[in-house]
Structure 1
Amino acid sequence: MRLSLSLGSEPGALVVCGFGEQRMADVMDQDGPPPNQTLYVCNINASLSKRHRLHELKEKLTNLCKPGEVIDIVALSNFYAKGQAFVVLKNLEQAEAAMKKLQGHELEGQAIKVAYAKSKSNAVEKIEGTFTGYKRVIKPKPPTGVKKAKPTVQADSDDESAPPPAPGFAPPAAGYPPQQPGAPQGYGGAPPGHAGMPQPPQQQQAVSQAPPLPHPILFLENVPHSADSEAVAGLFRAFMGYKEVRMVPSRPGLAFVEFENEMQSGVAMQRLQGVDMQGQALKITFSRS
């Protein structure tokens, strides 16, 4: 099966993060881009991708590429770009030499992996005079919680015969129960969620539609009924941190894939979202439990 996927600050870079050495070599031989000046580096220790350590990461990569001349390094600290960087060398010969030095080199106890980028970097295009502007790639933000539901504004009634509220009486707000018999004038019922009262419908809907928070376990839907756990594992095993696949015998088409942490599961979810599996597009979300 061929997967054509991309991730990172440089649009179109080949993503092989988390592949084993032989697996990565197979991908580069069969589907990899041709040699060029831009190297895609992944599997970098996550601690080096923190904002206050990015300058240290760039300095380490620059020193490792010597005597080659590094003209640009792109490394970010956001959720989806952690553990990755793009290194642009002055020419192809220097890029080939740098790739041999970087491949498998350990940075803070973690062996980095390197491949050629799929497209030219902005730095190279600027030198060649073909740069036409930055191409902004909008990526989904990691879910951070439940957004507050906006209150619904009820239109004024056209019924002119409706009597106005009594002086000093405040009608209940939208979603609150009506005035209870015997309650003090000017007060509605108990606030939603108090004294056994249900929440307003709009708040219930907001909670049910809220995206799940990042989780080490992924929830798969639309899995082909003929696919077994080994077939599903074949897609996810290549990603760093993969642990196991759990099928749901009572519910064909569903499965769970577990990783060591939520960052590794998030990377796998983004790269395999909608991938074709036996003619069906996988739907992947974070597990809610």
Structure 2
Amino acid sequence: MDVPPSPTIYIKNLNDRIQKEELRRTLYGLFSQFGGILDVVALKTNKMRGQAFIVFKDVGCASNALRSMQKFPLFDKPMSIQYAKAKSYATMKEDGTLQKHLAQQRKAKQSSADTNGEPPAKMIKMTPVATASEGTNNTIVYCSNLPQETTKEMLLALFGELKGLVEVRLVEGRPDIAFVEFSTEQEAGIAISALDGFQVDAEHKMSVAFAKK
């Protein structure tokens, strides 16, 4: 099935010998002629090697870029470009739909907890209230089960909608985890309540909990 037009394009068949920052700068410079760019995601993990995502401000810019740059030789390899399947966090924040998306995720998570018949003990364990009662309150939350292509910008777009965000820290060599710091323990608890179980993509449901002190 064809992927519908999107502000984000997915590029593959890139030269995987090029350093990540050089590739990001090159892609930004090459594609900025088609319009405003919100983000360029290019990682060197095994799963994402030779691939990148470019997030434009609107679909028109992305469409022009796709048509004009399809098979364009970059670093001696013709690029293969298509629309990305998922809407990026940068796009959702730009068009004002990120809060709605988060609310839908929270509603779906709550509905699942109410109807899937899981034992009460397991449900209690997943709630911030139970975590706090176990004495693990912290201003820092620990995020796990993140996609390999996760970037700091993606997490900032996601957690930046919540009050009290101080810092997002990635772990070198471990793109599947991150730490997010808030001003107060209460704000960190709200972040857990809002985003624990958030469906990042089709394969990854993010886990958010208080970090161990």
TM-score relative to the length of structure 2: 0.45
Q: In proportion to residue count, which structure has more helix?
A: 2
Higher RCO structure, 1 or 2 (CA under 8 Å, sep 6+): 2
Query: Which is greater in Rg?
Result: 1
